[in-house]
Amino acid sequence: MSKHVRLHHFSGGRFQPKDIPVVQEGPLSVYVNGQELVTLLCTPSKLEALVVGFLAFEGIIRGLEDIQSLTVLEEDGYADVRLTSDFVPPRRRIHTSGCGGGITFSLETHGSAAMEDNSSVDPRSLFPLIRELYVEAQSYRESRGIHAAALADGEKLVIVTEDVGRHNAIDKICGEAMLRGIPTTGKVLLATGRISSEMLRKGAHMGTPIVVSRTSATTMSIDLAKRLGLTLIGYVRGDSFYVYSHPERLVLPKPAPVLSR
């Protein structure tokens, strides 16, 4: 997902040639039933998962059974999807707040009911999960120019993805979970980038009651998390973090009773 580039490094008052890893980025044009839907600027990894996740989040498919065939030609930046039913391209496009000006066709959340999920996690378990995410995110460690995301079961990471776009990384989580048959409901969604409202909406779509970021949230994502019943957590650093909404899912275990002699 990264390639080494020769550049000039200025340090100590002088220039020196240096090779450093740089994140790869390229266009992926997605065609559905022969019609061009969108061109995504992305990192060339897990592209099948990216396409499936994007289609699922946009409401174009509800499951893998809606896809007749999927062909991705990475070198050509081309993905061809054949659905089992007719397809009419959406007319409404919304530019997201993500890097590169992403596109979504729907932000329908006003009629969504609040998530009813009684699961809980030990708040201290989030720190090793974030640390594990940075260990697994190889391209992030190499270049620091990429976003990473993960799906966790509360104890370990189940899926890890990386992409130059924050939204793409979440799309890949959804798509890989569908392709591998991994349930997302009740899981924890982690990300290295800022949690915007559209990313929070994707967490709600997957049924992940807890969404965690190493960085900040936005006012719209906080309001949305409160309304949809999601626990939104940000600024996970060291041994602390901020809880923006629904802290009731974070439960410290009760100490064992002391037996008297």
- 174 carries an active-site annotation: no
Burial string for 222-249 (b: 16+ CB within 10 Å, else e) reads bebbeebbbbbbbebeeeebeebbbeeb
Residue 150 in contact with residue 172, Cβ under 8 Å? no
Among residues 22, 70, 83, 99, the one annotated as catalytic is: 99
How many other β-carbons are positioned within 10 Å of the β-carbon of residue 188? 26
Residue 199 in contact with residue 104, Cβ under 8 Å? no
Give the separation between CA 150 and CA 83, rounded to whole angstroms. 28
Q: How far is residue 41 from each of residues 51, 127, 161, 169, measured CA to CA in Å? A: 12, 31, 15, 12
The answer to whether the Cα torsion of 165, 167, 170, 174 is positive or negative is: negative
158: its two tokens: 């189940």
Strand order in the sheet with 26-32: 35-42, 26-32, 78-83, 67-73
Which residue type occupies 253? P
Q: What residues act catalytically? A: 99
